[in-house]
Structure 1
Amino acid sequence: MKPTSPEFCTCLAIRQAARHVSQYFDQHLAPSGLRITQFSILAKLKAYGPLTINSLSDVLVMDRTTLGRNILPLTRDGLMGTVQGAVDRRSKELHLTDLGRERLDKAWPFWARAQAGFDAAFGSPEDSELRTLMRAVTTTELVIERTET
C-alpha cells in the first residue's frame, strides 16, 4: 500500500475503532436505556459537578454542537438540568438530577461488564496502555499549517 492510501489514515483507524467499541458498549448499556455517549456525559457530571457547556465539552473533548445534540434527550428526560452559574451568575451550568443519578447508578453495572469484557478480549496490559495512549492523543497539540495555493 502507498502511504497516501486511506489504509494509512490515522483518523480513519481511530474513528473505526471508536465506532466498533461504541457499538459494543451501547449493546451492553441497552437495558439501562442509555447509550455510551449519554452514560459518559452523566458520569462526567457526577464526577465534576455542575459544568458550563463549554467546560463539559472540554472535559469530554467533544465539540459544542455534538454535545448540544447529546444533552437534549438527557434534559428532556429529566436526567440533567441547568442551574445558574456559581462563578458567573449570567452563565448556566449543567448538572445531574436525582433521576439522572438513579439512571447512571442503574447503568453502572452494565458499563462495568462491558469494560471488563473489553479488557478481557483486548488483553492486559494492552487495555491499560491503549487508554494511556488515547489520553495522550487527546492532549496532543495538533496545528493546522496553512499553505498558499
Structure 2
Amino acid sequence: MSDTPIRLLCHCGTLRQAVRAITKVYDAKLSRHGIKITQFTILSVVKERGRVTTGELAKGLLMDSTTLSRTLATLKRAGLVDCEVGAEDLRERYWRVTRLGSSTLNKSQKDWQDAQEELRMAAGMQNVRDIDARAYDVASRLASLS
C-alpha cells in the first residue's frame, strides 16, 4: 500500500485525514514534553483565559464536553491544570494552568513553532493560510447550526 491517502467522497472523512496527518507532525514535536497537540491547545487556551469553565472551553473549542472532560482529567493528573468547584453551581468547574503547566507550555513553545514551520514547508505557506482561513470560516458557520 502506498503513502498516498485514499481519496474519499465524504467531506468529513477527507478533513479528518488531513487533521490526522497534521496531528502527527505536532505530536512528534511535542512528544518530548509529554503532551499532544490537543493538550497543548487546551493548555494554551486555559492559560490565555486565566480561568475558564469546562462549558466555555467546550463551546469555544467546538468540542463535546465528554471528550474535553477526559482531556482535562488527564492534564489534571499530570499536574498541568487545576480546577475549583463553582461557588454557586457545584457542578461547574473553573480551570486554570498550574506552574508546571505554564512551564511545560513555555518549554514546548519552540517545538510547537518547529511543527508550525514543518507544516508550512511541507504543505506550502499559502496552502496553510488558505486552510486556516477556510477551516475557521466553515467552523464558524457550522457552529451556529448547533
The interval holding the TM-score normalised by the smaller chain is 0.7 to 0.9
1:111 aligns with 112
CA–CA separation in structure 1 for the residues paired with 2:13 and 2:23 = 15
CA–CA separation in structure 2 for the residues paired with 1:7 and 1:74 = 34
Q: TM-score, with normalisation over the residues of structure 2?
A: 0.86
CA–CA separation in structure 2 for the residues paired with 1:52 and 1:94 = 6
Q: Which runs of 4 or more aligned residues in structure 1 lie more than 4 Å from their structure 2 counterparts after TM superposition?
A: none
Q: SS where residue 46 of structure 2 aligns?
A: helix
The offset of 1:48, in angstroms, is 1.6
1:72 aligns with 2:48: no
Q: Which amino acid aligns with 1:23?
A: K
1:25 aligns with 2:26: yes
CA–CA separation in structure 2 for the residues paired with 1:138 and 1:20 = 19
The offset of 1:7, in angstroms, is 2.1
CA–CA separation in structure 2 for the residues paired with 1:102 and 1:89 = 31
Consecutive unaligned residues in structure 1, runs of 5 or more: 1-5, 145-149
The offset of 1:83, in angstroms, is 2.6
1:9 aligns with 10
Pairing of 1:105-144 with structure 2 (within 5 A) = 105-141=106-142
The offset of 1:89, in angstroms, is 3.7
The offset of 1:102, in angstroms, is 0.5
The offset of 1:84, in angstroms, is 4.5
Report percent identity of matched pairs: 31
CA–CA separation in structure 2 for the residues paired with 1:105 and 1:76 = 19
In angstroms, what is the RMSD of aligned CA positions? 1.8
Q: SS where residue 48 of structure 2 aligns?
A: helix
CA–CA separation in structure 2 for the residues paired with 1:114 and 1:141 = 28
* Residue-pair matches, total: 137
CA–CA separation in structure 2 for the residues paired with 1:126 and 1:141 = 22
CA–CA separation in structure 1 for the residues paired with 2:136 and 2:116 = 17
Rg: which structure is higher? 1
Q: SS where residue 24 of structure 1 aligns?
A: helix
1:42 aligns with 2:52: no
